[in-house]
Amino acid sequence: VFGGGCFWCTEAIFERLKGVISVSPGYAGGTMKNPTYEDVSTGKTGHAEVIKIEFDPEKVSYHDLLTVFFATHDPTTLNRQGSDIGTQYRSLILYHTESQKKEAEEFITNLNASEQRVVTEIKPLNTFYKADEYHKNYYTKNPAAPYCQIVINPKIEKMEKRFHELLK
């Protein structure tokens, strides 16, 4: 489970990768039970907008997912991605296994060794709350929306150029 700003953006990125079976937008990392989009948008629930990725490790590795995650958002900006500001847009990895935790920690250690100051949180996944259906495949359903044109399109173009070998 990754949080890298707006879940419309991260979903649009990861659904293009080979080996990714499904991407579900939702909320996690906070304390409020059954939060809504409106609740999370206040920044007071502790939850972040996240995506839950189901993937086939025979086709795409967790390391590849981490590589794309860190390359497609700014992991050095606390509680902000572009014009999306608040704790709900923080950089966050919620792991399922100790091996995922270790790999994410090692990845960040290597990034920090290259002069970056990564602020990405790494925490165990406790509960994932699925977002309302209208958030699912938002970019695919609304490609002409201004947010999609201005924010998501450039991210997708950059990702497709850099990671063309990982695309479906």
CA distances from 86 to 11, 35, 165 (A): 19, 16, 33
Confidence of residue 126 (pLDDT cuts 50, 70, 90): very high
Does position 114 have pLDDT exceeding 90, yes or no? no
Mean pLDDT score, 8-32: 97
89-108: average pLDDT: 97
Distance CA 1, CA 141 (A): 23
Q: Residue 77 has what DSSP assignment?
A: S
* Consecutive H or E run containing 162: helix 153-162
pLDDT number for residue 115: 77
- The mean of the pLDDT values for the chain is 96
Cβ atoms 111, 67 nearer than 8 A: no
**% of the chain surpassing 90 pLDDT:** 97
**102 confidence band (pLDDT: 50, 70, 90):** very high
DSSP conformation class of 131: P
Helix ranges (H only) for 15-152 are 37-41, 62-71, 98-113, 138-141, 146-147
Average pLDDT over every residue of 76-99: 96
The reported pLDDT for the residue numbered 109 is 95
Q: What is residue 116's predicted lDDT score, i.e. its pLDDT?
A: 80
H or E stretch including 89? none
The residues annotated as belonging to the active site are 6
What pLDDT score does 38 carry?
97
Task: Tell me the residue length of the chain.
Answer: 168
Kind of pairing between the strands at 2-4 and 91-95: antiparallel
CA atoms within 13 A on the CB side of 134: 2
Does residue 20 register a pLDDT over 80?
yes
